[in-house]
Each structure stands twice: as structure tokens, then as C-alpha cells.
Amino acid sequence: MDEPVTPRDIDALYAWYKAMGVTDHAVDQPTDWFDLERQIQARRQEAGVRQVSGGPKPPARPVSPVARAPTPGSQSPPAAPSAPRQPAAPRRPVPVAPDAAVMTARSQAGSATTLAELAQTLQRFDGCGLKATAKSLCFYRGAERARLMLIGEAPGREEDLAGKPFVGRAGQLLDKMLAAIGLGEADVHITNVVYWRPPGNRTPTPQEVQVCEPFLERQIALVEPEIILLLGGAAAKQLLDSQDGIMRLRGKWRDLEKGGRRIKAIATLHPAYLLRTPNAKRQAWRDLLMVEAALRLGTGQTDPTAAAK
């Protein structure tokens, strides 16, 4: 027989959630996973995606304990299986098949002619599963047009609350790093490879990054940066199309073809990593000096004396 759950077990579970970075409930209402599956099927049919024989398995029962975590401090027991049905909760975005979602993203992003339009398009877009658990869209902060664009990984808790990228501790360090090369928020455009916070601050999945990519491509085309600074491994791997780790990718100039233009790109260490590993700041500083030199010299020219160490 199962051991009874004691208050100490519950405390230990909360402590574990906290240690894993879980700070919020994912949802306030229980999810009807069978209804969700019916909606996914309906979306697939609408999108004309043929189902493979036998069809996909119904979604597994909720994997993440986050979705079901009771409010810390509340002692209310989980709802009994026979509890009466709650009134229907407001509809949350329904995930669609990744390939259909990428196609939709591409066509919707391509028709935005300004960043404001792109923001509206993102607000309406339901193809990225992260939207279901995030509080807000974190699109960008800084200038609409900028010579330097910075791309990070994903919004965290502070960003989700503020609806802007890089406003938490990592963002504050980033601002100091930029100030050290004479740049302020008005000089740069800052965003991430995904626009919604992953639950518990986990790394976004390749599918989540892929589905946001058409929006990011359009954003780059509209911002028209001369230089892109990639912050951390997730952004570097995605934009440089590489499986190498950040330590190999950082500190080297690459050419990116985006929006019909050639843009200089360089990767550096993520500010969150620098907060945990202060010794690595030396490397990030070298990368930043390369960016400063390139901005000083102008598009297409990089300081030939500044090699990655």
C-alpha cells in the first residue's frame, strides 16, 4: 500500500519545485486533455494536414508537475475524481502540428510591414505552445531600427511579468555590458529566439524555436541591423545553424543572410551564465570589444586585429 502523504512530503515537493526554478502555476484551471486532442484534430483537418495511419497518440497525461501544483501555502486537497465540472475556462491557445504552425508563422510574419504589425500578428498567433503558459508576449526592447541587434534565448519570470526581454538580473548585467562600450537602450534592439517564457525557465525546445523563427527573421528584416550579437548557446546555434557549443562559436565573425541583406553576426556568452561564472566575463568583454570596433569601423568592416582568443 502507498505511504500516506505527510505535510513534510508536501514541503519537500515545494522545495524541489523551487530548486528547479518553478515560480508559478502554469494554469489556473484544470485542462481537459481529451477536448484538447479533439481541437488539435480539428485544427489539423482545417490546415489540410493529412493524418498518418493510426493517427497520433492522444497527448500523454500532463507531464509537467507544474500544471498541477497547488498554490504554495494552500492546503486544499486535489479535486476528487467525481467533483462536478467547473464552468468552462476561457479558451487557451491550442497547439497545432509543428509543420503547419511553421507554415502559418511564415505566411503571417511575412505580411507584417512594421514592428507594430508584427507584434499584433504575434499576439494573434497560437502556433507556439509556450504562449499557453506565459503571461505575456515579450517582443523586444530598445530602438525600432538599430545598428546592433541582440538576440537571447527566452524570457524568464521578470520578463514575462514586464512583457519585455532582458529586464531581470541578466538584463541588468547586459545593460552594464552595453554601457561599457558606450551603448544605451536607445542604440540597440534586444529580443530572444522565442517570444514567450518557457515554463520553469527551461530551455526552449527546437520546435518552439523553429516556430518562432519566421517572426524573428521578419523582425531582423524590419530592424535592419548591421551587426547581430547572439547571447548564449541557444541563439548562437539557431542563428549560426550549428551544433557546436557556445565556447566554440563565440568570438568569431560570421556572415548571415537575412531579409535579403548580409549581416555580421558574432556570438558571446549569455549574461545569465556570466552571473554564475564571473571568470568568464573576460571572454565576453573581448567579444564586446570586437562589436565596438566593428560599429566604429562601419558595416562590413571588422577590426582585423581583433581575433577571438
Which CB atom, from 96 or from 153, has the smaller least distance to ligand URA? 153
Helices then strands, each counted (H, E), the chain: 11, 6
Closest distance between ligand URA and the C-beta of residue 159, in Å? 4
Span interacting with ligand URA, options 24-32, 155-163, 215-223, 293-301, rule CB under 6 A: 155-163
Rounded-to-integer distance, Cα 34 and Cα 215, Å: 31
Closest distance between ligand URA and the C-beta of residue 235, in Å? 7
**Is 156 near ligand URA (CB under 6 A)?**
yes
Rounded-to-integer distance, Cα 231 and Cα 63, Å: 30
Which CB atom, from 143 or from 170, has the smaller least distance to ligand URA? 170
Exactly one of 95, 155, 214, 225 binds ligand URA (CB under 6 A); which one? Answer: 155
**Is 219 near ligand URA (CB under 6 A)?**
no
The phi, psi pair for 85, rounded to 5°, reads -65, 140
Exactly one of 130, 153, 195, 209 binds ligand URA (CB under 6 A); which one? Answer: 153
**Is 165 near ligand URA (CB under 6 A)?**
yes
**Is 154 near ligand URA (CB under 6 A)?**
yes
**Which string of DSSP letters, residue by residue, matches 76-129?**
PPPPPTTPPPPPPPPPPPPP--HHHHHHHHHHHHHT--SHHHHHHHHHH----G
Span interacting with ligand URA, options 71-79, 150-158, 220-228, 280-288, rule CB under 6 A: 150-158
Q: Taking each helix axis from N to C terminus, what angle separates 206-223 and 115-124, rounded to the nearest 10 degrees?
A: 160
Q: According to CB under 6 A, which residues from 253 to 292 bind ligand URA? A: 272
Cell numbers at residue 295, please? 560599429
Q: How many CB atoms lie within 10 A of CB 147?
A: 18
**Is 199 near ligand URA (CB under 6 A)?**
no
With 0-12 / 13-18 / 19 or more C-beta atoms within 10 angstroms meaning exposed / middle / buried, residue 161 is middle
Q: By CB under 6 A, name the binding residues for ligand URA.
A: 152-156, 159, 165-166, 168, 170-171, 192, 272
